Structure 1
Amino acid sequence: MTAMMAQLRLCGILPCIQATTEAQLYAAAKELNSLGFPCIQVDLTGEQPEACVWSSVLALDGLAVGAKISTWGQAIRALEAGAGWVSLPLREALLDREQWDKVIFCVESPEELQILGEAGQQISIPQEALFACPPHSAQSLREAFPQAGLVISGCGDAMECRNWLATPGVLAVSCFMESLEQKVVQDARRLHRLWAQTLDFSLAHIGINPQAPEDAAKTALAFAKLLGMTYMPGEASDYAGTIIEAMKEKGRGRHGHIGIGTGDLTRGMFYAQRAGFAFDMTSRKNDPAGRAILYYLEEEIGGFAVHLLQK
């Protein structure tokens, strides 16, 4: 997997733009770039000239650009112009195999895998190949190519996207973005919300620092009474359910700390980093198997230390 594909996996959402002018494409790409998206794909399968795409968009910092095209000849031109990857129909795999690490093969149905080459031979596709496919073809591709990476197209909503991104082998879901001038900002923000929704952020707990050690029990009991939750004393903290953690000694943060749960800690951290936040990598906590489950931000927010927590 290339470095750009690794970033695509960390984001999970691949905006796909079809534009008829360079100005349209640049406006859409710039808006997505400002929101932290690391990768976009430009659809060149329509009638617009290929040349409208690259000159300004490729100059945007921190943005990898791929191209969806129709033929291997277009693919070569796009890669030579600076495209990070190309998406093209599986049948074009017959023509060249030297740059397959930069190719996403588009497969609409499992039957396409049986396509024959010019000499009557089946295409020899690497097990580590990358495929773009609709949901109904994903299972067949996973069975035929268990080491392959998949980009799922045509997902319906945030929950479906989240479920696919939790599926082994799925790198991302591709989502169409409007390039019309009056819709660019609105649609870019829609995709940004979708990105956040796939991370399943939610409040895990609030840790409250004490004025004195005996404050922990008082604080936890008060919240337990207020919220109808169980009071649970502990060695370092007392709890009201799982939401309120009353510290017995001052911990991180001027006032305490806030834990934010996420369905994917690695992707959640990437989202925060793309938004300009940094993490204290020494704050890592592991589960019994040695996997990271928690990292704190370097800076407090509103007097609270903030950490992400793997659900």
Structure 2
Amino acid sequence: MLFDKIKKIGIVPVVKLEDAQDAKPLAKALCDGGLPCAEVTFRTEQAADAIKNMKEAYPEMLVGAGTVLTTSQVDEAVNAGAEFIVSPGLNPEVVEYCIEKNIPILPGCANPSDVEQAIKYGLKVVKFFPAEAAGGIKTIKAMAAPYHQMKFMPTGGVNPDNINEYLNFDKIIACGGTWMVKDNLIKEKKFDEIQNLTTQAVHKMLGFKLAHIGINCDNEEQAHKVAEAFDFMFGFAPKENPSSIFSDTYVETMKTPFLGTKGHIAIAVNSVERAKVYLEQKNIAFNEDSAVYRPDGKMQAVYMAQEVGGFAIHLVRNPALS
């Protein structure tokens, strides 16, 4: 489903293109930076051609049309290759037209009345716009309580400082943002800088950090000696479980050899699903059989297929979010 794909990407760059010829290098910068997605706004006459150029150059990229105000713009966008429509407000004519033609649409909603109209049309996801000006995450949480079936894509004022505050709320599928695709950077054709900003945005969203190091021991007696050494040297108090001993949260000593020739390295992330999708774009394979899921259906952990320096690598959900 399209919204599932958007959710796994996490950030939708909102793009304004004055020159359709910039669409291809911009698409490359976004894809190489880790965000194979764009909402091309219909605020310029070049929007349809830009969408077409993006999809022809990068057919795997998820491209939508934003600031769509009329049904004729819907047709123009879809004919150019747009896979979803985004509008700043909830225009009944545009919404009904998209529903009739089975075109995914995210109309802008900023208050309960808008959300109720969206529910009337059977929509499950809406754009929350303008996000920060309309009260930000506090307003979304307040509206999500009575409208529990609705999910949101906030846009407007989202930036590196607040992106995770939004994405950590499970009623938000993704955020629209412009900070990595600023108008001046596109006009000046600074696509390398756009790629760098995109990569920074992805890393900020995912929050990669070292969780712990795992050490493989041959037996339980050896594992206890290792754990005792860390406690003696550094005061890392041991906490034993059936298969291993944790020294504080820093080192996990395995009682019998587990994955990895030498052991394993755990990398904490804000979303295992999004981090997995990002790394798969880099052709990094995963051991799907190793995936562990939480009761709520979210992925808790998963191992990569290849070792690095003799260590198995696995992603694990940031404990602070559990």
TM superposition score category, shorter chain reference:
0.7 to 0.9
Q: Do residues 251 (structure 1) and 258 (structure 2) align?
A: yes
Task: After superposing the two structures, state which structure 1 stretch, 25-34 or 136-145, moved more.
Answer: 136-145
Residues 115-194 of structure 1 correspond to what in structure 2 (within 5 A)? 124-135=120-131, 136=134, 138-139=139-140, 142=144, 145-176=147-178, 177-178=181-182, 179-194=186-201
Is residue 104–residue 132 contact of structure 1 (8 Å, CA) maintained in 2? Answer: no
Change (3 A) 1:303 1:124: same
Aligned counterpart in structure 1 of residue 26 of structure 2, from 28, 40, 45: 28
Unpaired segments ≥5 residues, structure 1: 117-121
Change (3 A) 1:303 1:164: same
| Distance in 1 separating the partners of 2:165 and 2:289 | 31
Is residue 65–residue 84 contact of structure 1 (8 Å, CA) maintained in 2? Answer: yes
Identity percentage over the alignment? 23
Residues 90-109 of structure 1 correspond to what in structure 2 (within 5 A)? 90=89, 92-95=91-94, 97-100=96-99, 101-107=103-109, 109=110
C-alpha displacement of 1:159: 4.9
TM-score, scaled to structure 2? 0.81
Aligned length: 302
Structure-2 residue corresponding to 1:72: 71
Q: Match for 1:152: what amino acid?
A: P
Residues 1-311 of structure 1 correspond to what in structure 2 (within 5 A)? 3-46=1-44, 48-59=45-56, 60-68=58-66, 69-90=68-89, 92-95=91-94, 97-100=96-99, 101-107=103-109, 109-110=110-111, 113=114, 124-135=120-131, 136=134, 138-139=139-140, 142=144, 145-176=147-178, 177-178=181-182, 179-210=186-217, 214-287=221-294, 292-310=299-317, 311=319
Unpaired segments ≥5 residues, structure 2: none
Residues 74-112 of structure 1 deviation map (CA, whole Å, 9 limit, x = unaligned): 1111112210112124353325614234212124x4387
| The structure with more radius of gyration | 1
Is residue 156–residue 177 contact of structure 2 (8 Å, CA) maintained in 1? Answer: yes
The secondary structure found in structure 1 opposite 2:267 is strand
Q: Match for 1:55: what amino acid?
A: K
Is residue 255–residue 304 contact of structure 1 (8 Å, CA) maintained in 2? Answer: yes
Change (3 A) 1:251 1:50: closer
C-alpha displacement of 1:295: 1.3
TM-score, scaled to structure 1? 0.84
Change (3 A) 1:55 1:249: same
Q: Match for 2:75: what amino acid?
A: I
| Distance in 2 separating the partners of 1:17 and 1:127 | 24
Is residue 9–residue 277 contact of structure 2 (8 Å, CA) maintained in 1? Answer: yes
C-alpha displacement of 1:285: 3.1
C-alpha displacement of 1:158: 3.5
Is residue 36–residue 274 contact of structure 1 (8 Å, CA) maintained in 2? Answer: yes
Change (3 A) 1:199 1:155: farther
Change (3 A) 1:210 1:4: same
Is residue 20–residue 46 contact of structure 2 (8 Å, CA) maintained in 1? Answer: no
| Distance in 1 separating the partners of 2:98 and 2:296 | 38
C-alpha displacement of 1:10: 0.9
Change (3 A) 1:249 1:129: closer
| Distance in 1 separating the partners of 2:18 and 2:296 | 51
| Distance in 1 separating the partners of 2:293 and 2:81 | 40
Structure-2 residue corresponding to 1:119: none
Change (3 A) 1:63 1:271: same
| Distance in 2 separating the partners of 1:290 and 1:92 | 34
Is residue 33–residue 198 contact of structure 2 (8 Å, CA) maintained in 1? Answer: no
Change (3 A) 1:124 1:234: closer
Task: After superposing the two structures, state which structure 1 stretch, 281-290 or 249-258, moved more.
Answer: 281-290
